[in-house]
Amino acid sequence: MINRDLHVVLGLPFDNVNTDQAASLIEQSVASRRRCFLSTPNLNFVVQAHRDSNFYASVIESDLVIADGMPIIWIARLLGIPLPERVAGSSLFDLLREKHRDEPIRVFFFGGLGNVAETAGEKLQQDSVGMQCCGFLNPGIGTLESMSSEEIIQQINTAEPDFLVVALGAAKGQRWITHNQARIKAPVISHLGAVVNFVAGEICRAPPRWQKMGGEWLWRISQEPQLARRYLLDGLSFIYLWVAKAIPLAIYQQCLRLYSDIKPSIKITTEQIDNCFEIGLTGSAVGTNRRLLKDGFQKVLHKPCTIIKHVRINCAELNYIDSGTLGLLLNFKRQLSDRGQTLSFFNMSGRIRTLMGLHGVQKFLLA
């Protein structure tokens, strides 16, 4: 959907939604049977995504991306990016299961250690007024291919879930979803590893005050000491991202606003040459004029992909670009790719390259 309100934080696009809005989008997907691949990046997720291009691509290919980590929200606030709140995957799942509905959301748990998926299913049946468990399966330890057999996919589809909860570890879970989602009939799919343990009662969530202060990691370590090393590495990564990316970007943006002629206006020109569609941007691509960009990109997407093979964006007169426009461009490139089309940029100034680099999207957008 080109109309998603996406903002880039640390290189990843996040939907500008709160917990209630995210829950509503999931309910709409269940009701309409429209696909919703939900990704829930936290700090560890962000770090892994920058190390693994396939992992990064899985976030770009997601239909709903929520900020499941206070460090992401802190950096967004520093940069003036309008993410309203942390939307934890576990909080989102709790909201959905505690809301009474005439037809409960059918949930299938896939993965988890030992019998945790089965236990989670039993607890969901006992406690939930908004969900019911329609199946569970622990595929064991194996390769992506062995976990993607026809028998496994058939078992999931036969259960007719509305919401498939995957718990295989973030990297493998995201790969499994992108590898199999075309064969899975469940409209909503997400890797929510900790949710299975929370629902099963294997571990308890931190009190709300700890969550709001960003101290949930301390609570998790107290219950799962094996996570200490991961959180230490995440903390070091957070310091690096703060010092090397967030603060320089905040300073650079402030300098541009103070000393450059940046006006919130944009002019868009279009021209089709054979099977190439060229878009020219003049001015500043910011929130107040993003609707014009969306309308222009939508016109391209309405054209038959047999006619347009390539889209080029002329940045010669583009003097500023914000996090929301970068999120729009990531989404636009993803949709073009789904149609077998390509996107490229030319006449790009050093300023725009610097902004893309500090936002962490240069590698993907300019590939």
> Which residue do the tokens 């005439």 mark?
102
Give the whole-angstrom CA distance, residue 143 versus residue 220. Answer: 28
Within 8 A by CB and 6+ apart from 146, the residues are 139
**109: β partners:** 136, 165
Stated length of the chain: 367
Give the whole-angstrom CA distance, residue 38 versus residue 23. Answer: 11
> Which residue do the tokens 């109309």 mark?
3
User: In this structure, are residues 78 and 72 in contact, taking their beta carbons and an 8 Å threshold?
Assistant: no
Q: Decide: helix, strand or coil at residue 108.
A: strand
| Amino acid 112: pLDDT | 83
Give the whole-angstrom CA distance, residue 197 versus residue 183. Answer: 26
User: In this structure, are residues 26 and 188 in contact, taking their beta carbons and an 8 Å threshold?
Assistant: yes
Give the whole-angstrom CA distance, residue 363 versus residue 367. Answer: 6
| Amino acid 141: pLDDT | 82
313: amino acid identity, one letter: I
| Amino acid 207: pLDDT | 66
Sheet-wide strand order for 64-65: 64-65, 36-39, 188-191, 163-167, 105-111, 131-137
As averages over each run of 10 residues, the pLDDT of the chain (367 residues) reads 88 96 96 96 86 90 94 93 92 93 94 89 90 92 90 96 94 93 96 86 68 65 70 81 91 85 83 89 88 88 85 93 95 92 94 94 88
Domains (range + CATH), the chain? 6-234 (3.40.50.10700), 266-365 (3.30.750.24)
User: In this structure, are residues 31 and 187 in contact, taking their beta carbons and an 8 Å threshold?
Assistant: no
Strands 64-65 and 131-137: unpaired
Q: Strand (E) positions, the chain? A: 6-9, 12-15, 36-39, 64-65, 105-111, 131-137, 163-167, 188-191, 266-273, 276-285, 310-321, 342-346
Give the whole-angstrom CA distance, residue 197 versus residue 119. Answer: 9
The separation between the first and the last C-alpha atoms of the chain, rounded to the nearest angstrom, is: 22
